Structure 1
Amino acid sequence: MAPEDTYPELQEEEIDVEAELEKLILEDSEAEAGTSSGETAAEPSPDPGEALKQLQHELEVVRQQLKEKEDAYLRLYADFENYRRRTQREKEEFSQKERQKFVLEILPVVDSFERAQQQLKLETDRERELHNSYQSVYRLLVECLKKMGVSRMKSVGQPFDPNLHEAIARQPSPDYPEDVVAVEYQPGYKLGDLVIRHAMVAVSAGSPSSEPSPPAQATIEAGPENTPASPQNPQPS
């Protein structure tokens, strides 16, 4: 709403004052015209100049009141906007915390499904049937988490980051350089851009050191005097 539409009663009062002012100016003009033509007034009228000054003063007072009320309206509107933004932000933060709490309760169930899938060997029809049942429920859980904005973090092969990973071991690895995640024991998850569960990992300590080779033994260069005598072949009898 525009500020000038906020207080119609003051605007009407200002219009009345301006109309009265125009009326006095018109009467003053007519009076001057009558005097110049020799006409005499039947009765004395108030000084138009004083009345004009009074109306101008009243008009200024009305305008000042209108300005003050406009300022008050703008302050009230600004306070309301700040309140609306603050409540909206608090509502979003509360919703985010509730979703985070729900997801943290669901993730252990997802972990259990993944461990069960790893343990099934699928050697019998019963095991394959269980595997298919697990897969159906597991896919439903994963799709539900995706719709809520949950994503699984990739850890193995990534540089160790304490903001994303929780290191529970450090071990040599022939496959990954030092300070790179070599093993993931429990996956980490994000809700949007917020890390809600760190990945539990083992960090590579670099390639395992090779065993030192035994020291080389000194060899004696063979010479005529150091050449061992070859055994005598037995002569046939």
Structure 2
Amino acid sequence: LYAELEEAKQTIASQKDGVVRAAADVDNMRRRAAQDVEKAHKFALEKFANELLPVIDNLERAIEFSDKENETLKPLLEGIDMTVKSFNDAVAKFGVEIVNPQGEQFNPEFHQAMSIQPSNDVTPNTVLAVMQKGYTLNGRLLRPAMVMVSKAAE
């Protein structure tokens, strides 16, 4: 009788262990599924944002290269500027941030060096000019900023 009782206790302990393991597996699966959904939400906009960036770039170029002294164009330029701001505000709501590293240290994770310029005015590896802004989506790089970097003058 004692042997049967011990055997039943071992069976119960074994089954309890199996239930605990199964519950842990279910919790892990739920956690993984929640993480996958969160990642999908975060980065679902990546393709759309990448398509939108050239539009923002072109609007900014239109402002940059226009004749700002021309009174006839001023209302148009103000409209384009407001459109750029609206685009930037809209994409910022979804986690898109501008990388504009003017005057910062060069960071190869977020910047792409397009040229190197000797300079005694700033420390080496400082971004002298930004040729094209970069963008991140929820901290993940969408496009690096294209920059001119300083080096020590010889």
Question: Separation in 1 of the partners of 2:150 and 2:27?
Answer: 53
Question: Separation in 1 of the partners of 2:3 and 2:143?
Answer: 71
Q: Which amino acid aligns with 1:139?
A: K
Please report how far the alpha carbon of residue 133 of structure 1 lies from its aligned counterpart in structure 2 after TM superposition. 1.7
Please report how far the alpha carbon of residue 90 of structure 1 lies from its aligned counterpart in structure 2 after TM superposition. 2.4
* Higher Cα radius of gyration: 1
Please report how far the alpha carbon of residue 182 of structure 1 lies from its aligned counterpart in structure 2 after TM superposition. 1.1
Contact 1:173 1:182 in 2 (8 A): no
Residue 151 of structure 1 aligns to a residue whose secondary structure is strand
Q: Could you tell me which residue of structure 1 aligns to residue 17 of structure 2?
A: 71
Question: Separation in 2 of the partners of 1:165 and 1:109?
Answer: 20
Q: Could you tell me which residue of structure 1 aligns to residue 106 of structure 2?
A: 160
Please report how far the alpha carbon of residue 75 of structure 1 lies from its aligned counterpart in structure 2 after TM superposition. 1.4
Question: Separation in 2 of the partners of 1:195 and 1:93?
Answer: 15
* RMSD value, Cα: 2.4
Q: Which amino acid aligns with 1:80?
A: V
Question: Separation in 2 of the partners of 1:200 and 1:182?
Answer: 11
Q: Could you tell me which residue of structure 2 aligns to residue 233 of structure 1?
A: none
Please report how far the alpha carbon of residue 175 of structure 1 lies from its aligned counterpart in structure 2 after TM superposition. 3.6
Match of 1:93 among 36, 39, 56: 39
Divergent runs of 4+, >6 A: none
Question: Separation in 2 of the partners of 1:169 and 1:162?
Answer: 13
Q: Could you tell me which residue of structure 2 aligns to residue 169 of structure 1?
A: 115
CA shift digits 1:150-176 (9 cap, x unpaired): 222232222222222111111234543
Aligned residues: 154
Please report how far the alpha carbon of residue 115 of structure 1 lies from its aligned counterpart in structure 2 after TM superposition. 0.7
Question: Separation in 1 of the partners of 2:68 and 2:130?
Answer: 24
Question: Separation in 1 of the partners of 2:151 and 2:13?
Answer: 73
Match of 1:198 among 144, 148, 152: 144
1:188 matches 2:134: yes
Contact 1:152 1:187 in 2 (8 A): yes
What TM-score do the two structures reach when normalised by structure 1?
Answer: 0.57
Indicate the percent of aligned positions where both proteins have the same amino acid: 31
What TM-score do the two structures reach when normalised by structure 2?
Answer: 0.83
